[in-house]
Homo-oligomer: A and B are copies of this chain.
Amino acid sequence: MERELESLFAQKKLRLTTPRREVFLAMQSSKAPLSISELIKKCPISERTSVYRTIDLFVRENIVKIVPIGWKQKYELTDLFKKHHHHLSCTKCGNLIDIHSKNIETVVSDVARENGFSETDHTFEIRGLCRDCK
């Protein structure tokens, strides 16, 4: 998997540097999406500035995507690394549940088609109380 990273970067002709490795591993080891400030905390070896630059790079290179979670922008690995999914977000305990729903995807493409839209990306989130909190 360290292996995997190397070939990924080689393929994209990007240098595999310390901050890039650190940021990628931080993202990979987190079960939930991370905000920039969380990411900066999780990457103590790298300068703040480098984390910003790295995450920008990762977004451009389609390694990481931006997801809006509970009204904040967060980052998570793209579908290349993690199966496409959406989130249920508990507003009480803050927990996130990953969901994989065929129906959501169907609605997305139906709505896009009906409106003559060529979809590149979509966002879906449900907020509320989870089983335990309600």
Contacts and interface: CB of A to CB of B under 8 A. Distances in A.
A126 B103 contact: no
A111 interface: yes
Contact of A107 (B71, B104, B117, B121): B104
A57 interface: no
A17 B15 CA distance: 56
Contacts of A115: 88, 97, 99, 130-131
Interface in A85-134: 88, 90-91, 97, 99, 101, 103-104, 107-108, 110-112, 115-131, 134
Interface of A: 66, 68, 71, 73, 88, 90-91, 97, 99, 101, 103-104, 107-108, 110-112, 115-131, 134
